[in-house]
Amino acid sequence: MADPFILQPRGTESPHGASVPIPPAPLRIDPAFGMLAEHCADDAVTDLFVNGDGGLFLDRGEGAEPVSAWRASEREVRDLAVALVGLGGRHLDDQSPCVDVRLDSGIRVHAVLAPVAASGTAISIRIPRVRAADLDALAALGCFDARMQRWLTSLVHERANLLITGGTGTGKTTLLSALLSEAADSERLVTIEDVAELRPRHPHHVALEARQANLEGAGGISLARLVRESLRMRPDRLIVGECRGEEIRELLTALNTGHDGGAGTLHASGLTDVPARLEALGALAGMDATALARQTVSAFSTVLHLVRDPGGTRRIAQAGVFALADDRLTVEEVRPW
């Protein structure tokens, strides 16, 4: 039986017409991972957490589990964090104690130095277990059924603007990558992320990534600025990988001025919580609730909300559309498939 959360790519056609599975390419583990390398190479592991000298925890799809044999001092954990962040071209020190990076292998590393991390330097590592995932692969793993898959495909082909919501680790980026893979080859996709993770199977994909300021505090490039810059790149589809702050204003403006087929993702615990989350982001961008509501209703066609079941399966639990109620944003659940 297929693993409930590790995706396999669609097979290719053999000369005789039979489908031949494509084995996933081995993950490149840099020597800088040191004692973590063996756990990163474990195909079942999606996340690793190092909590200073307090221990190592692994997530194999059923929650974090401690590794009893792990031993490391705070000095060793700090050195490991600095080395891993350096692999991603960023710096981790007392002036920049919290850093998020994506390595060339696709592994994502987030590190927080002590004493900001009160119990010791904390390292969170996300291992990409998706190999060119598409909608067929997600359907096979229970993310949605065949009727919903046909509806999702039609949304992409009709160039609907989509907002994908859910908690951490529910598969928002994975689903968005799969949806973008359905876009026509003639379209130009521009994705904007704090840490570039979107990897759609598409021949014309341009990825923009925010940049950390240097040691003098200069040179930083925000998501909001990247959204503005992307409008000059003639995108056919403009995508913000995760809305966290003022970039929501730029994204809403773009989606309301002729940029159809766009998308974004948003952290939310439930579909009914999405309006409040958007209002909070709008406030960071200087937008009042009324302006945010009117912009959102006209910007996004559909909201897709993902959950992660106790067994590890990630699935679309709800879909909705935005509406206005006394000039405030609401969301109504729908089942159009």
Tens of pLDDT, residue by residue over 144-171, are: 999 999 999 999 999 999 999 999 889 9
CATH of domain 135-334: 3.40.50.300
C-beta of residue 29 within 8 angstroms of C-beta of residue 105:
yes
Domains of the chain, by residue range, sit at: 31-126, 135-334
**How many residues in the chain?**
337
Q: How far apart are CA 2 and CA 95, in angstroms?
A: 45
Question: What are the φ/ψ torsions at residue 79 (nearest 5 degrees)?
Answer: -60, -40
- Residue 207 burial (CB < 10 Å; 0-12/13-18/19+)? middle
- Give me the residues of the chain with pLDDT under 50, please: 1-24, 132
Strands (E), 94-204: 98-102, 108-112, 122-126, 162-166, 189-193
Q: State the CATH architecture for 31-126.
A: 2-Layer Sandwich (3.30)
The H or E element spanning position 36 is: none
Query: Which pLDDT value is given to residue 25?
Result: 52
CA distance 55 to 282: 39
Q: How far is 182 from 195, CA to CA, in rounded Å?
A: 23
* Structural tokens at position 129: 């277990």
Residues 6+ apart with CB under 8 A from 211: 219, 220, 221
- Please report the pLDDT score of residue 313 as a whole number: 86
Q: What is the pTM of this model?
A: 0.76
**Could you give the CA distance from residue 149 to residue 207 in angstroms, rounded to a whole number?**
26
Which alpha helices (DSSP H) does 191-332 contain, by range?
223-230, 247-255, 274-284, 289-299
Q: Is the fold of 31-126 the same as that of 135-334? A: no
